[in-house]
Amino acid sequence: MTYTVVALLRRKEGISSTQFRKHYDTVHLPLLISLLGSAMPLTHTRYYVSRETPTMHWSVEPLTTLKRSAAVGEEFPPAIMYEGSLDDVAFDSLTVMVWEDKELFDTFIRILLSKDVAEKIGEDEENFLDRGKKVVFSITDSVTKRA
């Protein structure tokens, strides 16, 4: 049975959403692949939060324009919200990783936490992540039903 882990990642203060995404896709992921090799997950899917820009026009008005958060500034433009609170979207990427099984995930973690690998990954994360805001957790198998 597959084993799935989700990571909610927030970009480092001072870099744009575009810079965060570019670094994650073109520097960080290749680094992970080079260091972890066959222990990498079967899939490593990144979803990036849609953020409002001053030029957006809406056919259905999102809640973003109705509810502004004092905590959200120019460095962290508000997420495009249709329900909920802007304060609840304090991340830039929702990453879903799927391994063949829990044992392969355990191998991934052992390698990831080894001193040399952990140092290299930590150094790179300092370039684009707010490491104090990183949230990583496992989820159960998904249930999909066509509406």
Amino acid residing at 83: E
What tokens appear for 79 in the block? 């997420």
Indicate whether 35 and 106 sit together in one domain. Answer: yes
Rounded CA-CA distance 48/33 in Å is 20
Helices in 6-144 by DSSP H: which ranges? Answer: 17-23, 29-36, 102-113, 115-128
Residue 76: predicted pLDDT: 59
Tracing tokens 């290299």 back to the chain, one arrives at 120
Per-residue pLDDT, 53: 59
Asked, for residue 145, whether it belongs to a domain, the answer is: no
The tally of domains found in the chain comes to 2
Question: pLDDT tens, 97-117?
Answer: 999 999 999 999 999 999 999
CB 130 within 8 A of CB 15: no
The residue range of the domain holding 134 is 3-49+91-139
The answer to whether residue 21 sits within a structural domain is yes
Determine the average pLDDT of the residues in 64-73. 44
Quick check: is 144 in a domain? no
For residue range 17-58, what is the model confidence (pLDDT) as tens digits? 889 999 999 999 999 999 999 999 999 999 998 876 545 555
